[in-house]
Amino acid sequence: MRTLLFKSLFALLLLANAAFAADPLPSWNDTGAKKAIEAFVENVTKDGSPDFVPVAERIATFDNDGTLWSEQPLYFEYIFALDRLRALAPQHPEWKTEQPFAAALNGDLKGALAGGEPAVARILAVTHAGMTPEEFDQIVRDWIANARHPKTGRLYTEMVYQPMLELLTYLRANGFKTFIVSGGEIEFIRAWSEQIYGVPPEQVVGSSVKTKFELRGDQPVLTRLPQIDFVSDNAGKPVAISSHIGRRPIAAFGNSDGDLQMLQWTTAGRGARFALLVHHTDSAREWAYDRRSPIGRLDKALDAAQAKGWTVVDMKNDWKVIYPYEMK
In the predicted structure, residue 2 carries a pLDDT above the cut 50:
no
- Condensed to tens digits (0 to 9), the pLDDT of residues 250-301 reads 999 999 999 999 999 999 999 999 999 999 999 999 999 999 999 999 999 9
Q: Mean pLDDT in the chain?
A: 93
CATH of the domain at 202: 3.40.50.1000
Q: Give the model's pLDDT for residue 64.
A: 98
Split into its structural domains, the chain has a count of 1
Residue 162 has, within 13 A of its CA and on its CB side, a CA count of 19
- Condensed to tens digits (0 to 9), the pLDDT of residues 71-86 reads 999 999 999 999 999 9
**125 in a structural domain:** no
**47 in a structural domain:** yes
**250 in a structural domain:** yes
**142 in a structural domain:** no
Q: Give the model's pLDDT for residue 20.
A: 52
**φ, ψ at 176 (rounded to 5°):** -85, 145
**305 in a structural domain:** yes
Helix and strand element counts for the chain (H, E): 14, 7
For range 118-146, the mean pLDDT? 95
Regarding predicted confidence, which is higher, 9 or 143? Answer: 143
Q: What is the pTM of this model?
A: 0.92
Question: 3-class SS at 185?
Answer: strand
**126 in a structural domain:** no
**307 in a structural domain:** yes
**Can you list the positions of beta strands (E) in 231-314?**
251-254, 274-279, 311-314
Q: What range does the domain containing 320 cover?
A: 25-71+157-327
Q: Which whole-number Å values give the CA distances from 326 to 34, 71, 77, 256, in the listed order?
A: 20, 18, 24, 25
**141 in a structural domain:** no
- Condensed to tens digits (0 to 9), the pLDDT of residues 214-254 reads 999 999 999 999 999 999 999 999 999 999 999 999 999 99
